[in-house]
Each structure stands twice: as C-alpha cells, then as structure tokens.
Amino acid sequence: MILLLGELNNISKSPDQIFWYSIIFFVGIIFISTYKMYSTEKKWPIFSKWNLFEIVLMIGVIWSQNLSYNGIILLVFADIFYSSREFQDSDSKRSWIIFIFLSFLILLLTDYEILSLFIKVPSLATYIQFYPSSIRGVVLFLENALTSLNVIIFIISLLSYILYVIKEHHNIEEELKMLSRVNTELNHYISLSEKIAEDRERKRIAREIHDTLGHALTGISAGIDAVSVLIDVHPIRAKEQLKNVSNAVREGIKDVRGSLHRLRPGALQNNGLKDALILMISEYESLSKLSVDLKYEWGNIDLDVMQEDTIFRIIQESMTNSVRHGHASKMSIRFMSEDNNIIVLHDNGIGFDDLQIGYGLKQMRERVSILGGSIHFENRKGFYTKIVFPKIGGEVYDKGNDCR
C-alpha cells in the first residue's frame, strides 16, 4: 500500500463515487439518445439544448472516471452525428467543420497522457501494476479489448452510414434516370398528340369548307349556268336567277365567316387583342409557375381578324415554349410602337447553345411572314424573341401603358 501511495500523483475518489457518478451520467446520455430517437422531431439542430446537455453528461462521465477513459466521446458524437439535421445536407460545410474540430479538441483535452502533464490525476495503470501478475494480465487484456471494441464499433457505424448514403445516392440517380426516360416519352407523346390534333383540325377545316363554301360554290356554278341559258331566251327570269345567285353568295360569305369565327381562339371571340392577351396570361399563370409581365403600348391600333389571330397564336406559342423547353419562371412581353410595330418576348429560362428550329418556331416564322414581318431569336440569359411588323397607313395609337 505504501508503495502504491508513493506512485500515485493524486488520491482518487472512492470506488463507490466513481461507480455511481459514472452510472448516473451514462444513464442520462442513454435517456437523451433514446428521447431523440423516438421523438416526433426526427432530426435536431446540431446545437440544440439536448445535444449540448449530452456533451455535458459525456464530460461528467470522463471526469467521474478520473480522465482514465475517453472512449465515451465516440458514442456521444456518433449519436449527435446521426440525429442532427445539418449532417444530412452536404451544403452545411460550416456545421461539418465545427463538428470535426470540436470532436478533435475534446479527444485531445481528455487524453490522460496530455492532461497528466498539467493536472495531477491518478493513473489507472498505476493501480493495475500492483495487481498480481495473473490478474494484471487479464485486466490489461480486458481494458485494451474494450477500448479496441469501442473504436471498431464506431468505425463500423460510420462505414455503415457511408454505405447507406452511397446506396441512397444510387437510388436517387436511378430514379432521376427513370424520370428522364419518362419525360422523354412524355415529350414524344406530346409531339404525337400535337400531330394527331393537327390532322384532326385539318380534317375539321376540310369538312367546314366542304359543307359551307363547297356547297355555296356548287349552287353558284349551277345558277350561273342557268343564267347563261336564260339571258337570251328569258331576260326577266335570268335577272331573277342572278338574284338567287347573289343570295347564295351572301349566304356562302356568311357561312365562311361563321367557320372562321369558330376557328378563332376563345379569348378573342368576345375581346380585343389586349384583353384577350390579359385573359390568356391570367389563365396560364393559374395553371403553371410562369409569371408574365405584360406591357402593351399599341393603344387603339386597328387590326383585322387575321392579324389578331396570328399575333395571339404567336404569344401563346412563345409562352408554351418558355415553360416546356426553357423551364422559365418569369417572362416579359412588350408591345411597342416605333417606326414599326414591335413585340419583344424575354424569359429567364435555360436559353439555347445551338438553336434547333422545331415545328413551333417554324409555325411562328410562317405566321409572322404572312403579315409581312420578321422574327429574330437570341440567347440572352434566357430565350429572347423580337418580332417586327410594318405599320399600315391609317393606324391609330394611344400611348397609354398597361403594366401587369
């Protein structure tokens, strides 16, 4: 005993105190870990009160054992690592740095070999060396085995988590590939649906022409043939027949106008161009994430039905392309009047590197060309479109602005 006291730098606490303090602090750690595991809040902030309290209890365990064992740090910091939400986000670099630095600092400060240089603490090895050689070997073996087991379990848990993260990333990549394939198939389906709808529209227009204009022209042709026969023989009846032909022409014109009216966009049937655009934009914004800013400076410009329909369809196609191909969230539309009538459309989508003229852009060019205008596409941090129409004599303007 005298030799043991001579070797010790400081007298340890009583064994009962060491045991009960260690048990109380460790039970506190288990309680907090269990509470976080089964709590409704599955992920906690790294500096939550529970994590900080768990660190305090961990320091209590180390202190109660006279700084002879600091392996409990691995358990506590593994629990904090798995339960903190910051470590699920790869962008939270600050949290990762603080966590690693704090772990290393506490491991360093609780190492007995370092602390014994500054603080007089009793050494566990001093107690063990006074055991009989047979018991000493067993105790040293158990101490080293438990310490190694603690490190091995910690490493295995980290490896398991890394494998889990890799598997999750692989699953996400597979799901993204599947979504990409589905998106490609949907685009093909949309293109096919557009072609089918286009064919159906052609057939419907053909039936409209056949049932209205074709019928009227047939009657007119027969009436003119009858007039050519009657004009020399019976002039009065020829005049009556000409009246019938005139009525048939008027009815044919009426039917053609009715067919054209049915082909117009719904928003233009009862509204002017500006009001129809506002209505279409409002409906589009309610159905998609696209926010449209319309500035209309054409005022009371006099447009015929074909011009209104063409401009409306161009704006409609541009908005559809911005969402479908550009994935845009914002779009500006400007109607300006300078030397020419100008429309400028600009979205914040992905733009293009090498512009491929598809069916939609081709139709836009054809529509603009019909009105004698020009269209220009650019990549300006998004898709930029400028359309220029020549002014027609007699146009009336009101320079008032309408912003939306």
CATH number of the domain that residue 278 is part of = 3.30.565.10
Helices (H), 90-214: 93-109, 112-115, 124-128, 133-209
The answer on 201 and 81 residing in a single domain is: no
The answer on 328 and 244 residing in a single domain is: no
The residue segments making up the domain with residue 309 are 266-389
The answer on 288 and 371 residing in a single domain is: yes
The answer on 215 and 308 residing in a single domain is: no
Residue 267: which of 228, 311, 327, 226 has the closest Cα?
Answer: 311
The answer on 231 and 320 residing in a single domain is: no
Whether residue 161 is contained in a domain is answered as no
CA distance linking residue 327 with residue 349, whole number of Å: 5
47: its two tokens: 């500096």
CA distance linking residue 237 with residue 248, whole number of Å: 16
Whether residue 321 is contained in a domain is answered as yes
The secondary structure of residue 44, as a DSSP letter, is B
The answer on 121 and 18 residing in a single domain is: yes
The answer on 240 and 120 residing in a single domain is: no
Contact predicate 377/355, CB 8 Å = yes
Considering 73, 95, 130, which residue would you say is the last residue of a domain? 130
CA distance linking residue 7 with residue 10, whole number of Å: 9
The highest-confidence range among 97-111, 172-186, 210-224, 292-306, by mean pLDDT, is 172-186
5 falls in which pLDDT band (50, 70, 90)? very low
The answer on 325 and 238 residing in a single domain is: no
The answer on 94 and 17 residing in a single domain is: yes
pLDDT at residue 385 above 90? yes
Whether residue 353 is contained in a domain is answered as yes
Considering 232, 248, 263, which residue would you say is the last residue of a domain? 263
CB atoms within 10 A of CB 235: 11
Least confident of 40-49, 147-156, 173-182, 358-367: 40-49
Whether residue 307 is contained in a domain is answered as yes
**Strand locations in 176-324, DSSP E?**
291-296
The answer on 336 and 221 residing in a single domain is: no
pLDDT at residue 42 above 70? no
Which pLDDT value is given to residue 13?
61
Higher pLDDT, 235 or 119: 235
The answer on 69 and 38 residing in a single domain is: yes
Mean pLDDT of the residues in the chain: 78
Considering 80, 103, 130, which residue would you say is the last residue of a domain? 130
pLDDT tens figures, 62-86: 888 777 777 888 888 888 877 776 6
CB atoms within 10 A of CB 397: 14
Pairing mode of beta strands 383-389, 341-347: antiparallel
pLDDT tens figures, 167-197: 988 999 999 999 888 888 887 787 777 778 7
Whether residue 124 is contained in a domain is answered as yes
Model-wide pTM > 0.75: no
The answer on 122 and 23 residing in a single domain is: yes
Whether residue 176 is contained in a domain is answered as no
Whether residue 189 is contained in a domain is answered as no
Structurally, how many domains does the chain consist of?
3
